[in-house]
Amino acid sequence: MSNMTRAERTTAAQYDALAGFYDRYFSERLTAPRRGEYTRSASLDALLERLSATDISDCACGPGHLALELAHRGYRVVGTDISRAMIRIARRHAREFGSRARFQVCAWVDLPEKMRRRFDLVLCVGNAIGHCRNEREMVRALRAMHTVLRPGATLYLSTRWWERYRKARRRVDAFRSRVVDGERLVLLNVRHHTKTLSDPHLIEVVALTIHEDNSASTDCFPVTYYPFRVADLRRRLTAAGFEQIAVAYGDGEWYQVTARRPA
């Protein structure tokens, strides 16, 4: 992975550290392949219904939960991530479920070299694109995604709405607790606000585990993002060769983007 950028190397190390807790906290999603139910956003569901996709790339797959769900539904899915720890977990889950989803450690810039086939749909979800350090790095990553799409195929991207994020000035995001193997897991995101949007933004993921004997332990995982405006993302997608760029805003601090590789 010699082409990995400095920002990607930092991100890989941060997610290697976070991988175990992240997978455990979201482990309820892994019941989905057994039930035939799917944990996706409404906008992605609608896109899948509209497209006649067969081959899907999830190019920021983390522990593989979404890729496993899609593979169970019948899609041919390749999940990639720059975190080796995340990919180890995803491969373990694939073995446990007997899934045909494939997983590979791969930076975005290496996608054209590593992927032997082209895809009907590339997914880049969960704010992953915010780990590109600047415009040059993001355009390079988006061009790689563009390259592995078939002509006329679609990129689906979800990301934090950074303008709204900064306007809220909230200090802590608290997520609902979950009980896993008899232990209660609590997840907090602690925001570190900066003077300008162009500064790197740090989010500390605080993991609290309350054990069966009622003792507690905490871990803290720093994750660095490089914010951008909606207009910046549109411009970068265009520079990467995409067309028909559509932005769908939600009620919160997130939005989704679809963009098409020209036929």
Question: Which CATH number covers residue 28?
Answer: 3.40.50.150
In terms of C-beta density within 10 A (0-12 exposed, 13-18 middle, 19 or more buried), how is residue 36 classed? exposed
The C-alpha atoms of residue 21 and residue 40 are separated, in whole angstroms, by 21
78 to 75, 90, 128: CA distances (angstroms): 10, 11, 17
Q: Are residues 58 and 148 in the same domain?
A: yes
Q: Chain centroid to CA 76: how far?
A: 18
Q: What pLDDT score was predicted for residue 40? A: 54
Q: Are 175 and 241 in the same domain?
A: no
Say whether both 180 and 254 belong to one domain.
no
Q: What is the pLDDT of residue 35?
A: 44
Alpha carbon 71 to chain centroid distance? 17
Q: Is 62 part of any domain?
A: yes
Q: Do 24 and 78 fall within a single domain?
A: yes
Kindly state whether residues 188 and 144 are assigned to the same domain. no
Query: Cα–Cα–Cα angle for 30, 191, 41, nearest 5°?
Result: 35
- Please work out, in degrees rounded to the nearest 5, the angle formed at the alpha carbon of residue 83 by the alpha carbons of 256 and 138: 45
Residue 78 CB partners (closer than 8 Å, separation 6+): 55, 56, 57, 58, 67, 101, 102, 103, 104, 115, 119
What is the mean pLDDT for each group of 10 consecutive residues in the chain (263 residues)? Answer: 70 96 84 49 84 94 92 94 97 93 96 95 96 95 98 97 94 94 95 95 96 96 97 98 95 93 97
- Kindly report the number of other CB atoms within 10 A of residue 101's CB atom: 26
Residue 1 belongs to a domain: no
Q: What is the pTM of this model?
A: 0.93
Same domain for 194 and 243, yes or no, is: no
The closest alpha carbon to 1, from 104, 128, 134, belongs to: 104
As a residue count, the chain comes to 263
> Side chain identity at 107, as an amino acid letter?
A
Buried b (16+ CB within 10 A) or exposed e, 169-208: eeeeeeeeeeeeeeeebbbeeebeeeeeeeeebebebbbb
Provide the 3-class DSSP secondary structure of residue 167: helix
Shared domain check, 141 and 95:
yes
Check residue 82 and report its DSSP letter: S
pLDDT score of 68: 92
Are 99 and 73 members of one domain?
yes
* 23: nearest Cα among 87, 95, 110: 87
Residues 253 and 152 in one domain: yes
Start-end of H helices in the chain:
6-25, 32-35, 42-50, 65-73, 84-97, 111-114, 135-148, 162-168, 230-239
Full residue range of the structural domain in which residue 199 is found: 164-224
For residues 18 and 205, is the Cβ–Cβ distance under 8 A?
yes
CATH number, residue 191: 2.20.25
Whether residues 255 and 135 share a domain: the answer is yes
Work out how many domains the chain is built from and give that number.
Answer: 2
Residue owning tokens 């996709």: 53
Helix 84-97 vs helix 6-25: angle between axes, to the nearest 10 degrees? 40
Tell whether 195 and 157 lie within a shared domain: no
Regarding whether 176 and 115 lie in a shared domain, the answer is no
Spell out the residues 6+ positions from residue 245 whose beta carbon is closer than 8 angstroms to its own: 234, 237, 238, 257, 258, 259
Residue 77 domain flag: yes
